[in-house]
């Protein structure tokens, strides 16, 4: 079942590469914070690299000004996510997280079967806004689309 507005973010462990692979517990990531989490089908893929992640990098000041943390996630390993972040000049406070086996993505109910493209299980393209671990907004893209999970769109729809 897909997570809905009003649901609590499920507990899972994601990974981040900083001085080795570090575990990031979703309860700690979301607890007591306002967070925008956006997911991409894959690091280094065309739309993800040309539009999705760069849009959030460009708009980080606007998120910071609103007291909102930002995290990017993909079903890739921490080494790939770290290399992608470096190639995109991602600021340190935009967390680039790996859901290597897709467990968190599946817990959210937002998995994408990309086996037809040789990519296996991936995350759908989406963005969610949570306050203290509770989903307040959820923007899931239609297949092949890039609109409602873009940084500009999310910023426009955040509560004042």
d(CA 153, CA 155): 5
77 CB neighbour count, 10 Å cutoff: 17
Strands 34-39 and 68-74: parallel
Strands 134-140 and 126-131: antiparallel
Give the three-state DSSP class for 29. helix
DSSP state of 118: T
d(CA 9, CA 15): 17
Point out the residues that are catalytic.
Answer: 48
Q: For position 44, what pLDDT does the model report?
A: 96
Q: H-helix or E-strand containing 126?
A: strand 126-131
Q: For position 128, what pLDDT does the model report?
A: 98
CB 37 within 8 A of CB 74: no
Q: Consecutive 10-residue runs of the chain (160 residues): their mean pLDDT?
A: 96 94 97 98 95 98 98 97 97 97 98 88 97 98 96 95
Q: What is the pTM of this model?
A: 0.96
DSSP state of 131: E
**Does 13-157 carry CATH code 3.40.30.10?**
yes
The closest of 144, 138, 154 to 41, measured between CA atoms, is 144
Q: For position 160, what pLDDT does the model report?
A: 79
């Amino acid at each position: 079942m897909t997570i809905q507005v009003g649901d609590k973010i499920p507990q899972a462990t994601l990974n981040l590469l900083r001085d080795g692979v570090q575990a990031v517990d979703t309860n700690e990531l979301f607890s007591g914070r306002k967070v925008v989490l956006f997911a991409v089908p894959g690091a280094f893929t065309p739309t993800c690299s040309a539009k999705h992640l760069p849009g959030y990098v460009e708009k980080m000041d606007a998120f910071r000004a609103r007291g909102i943390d930002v995290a990017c996630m993909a079903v890739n390993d921490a080494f790939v996510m770290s290399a992608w972040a470096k190639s995109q000049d991602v600021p340190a406070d935009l967390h680039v997280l790996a859901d290597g086996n897709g467990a968190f993505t599946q817990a959210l109910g937002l998995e994408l079967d990309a086996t037809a493209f040789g990519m296996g299980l991936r995350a759908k393209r989406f963005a969610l806004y949570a306050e203290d671990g509770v989903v307040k907004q959820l923007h899931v893209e239609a297949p092949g689309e890039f609109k409602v999970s873009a940084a500009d769109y999310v910023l426009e729809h955040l509560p004042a």
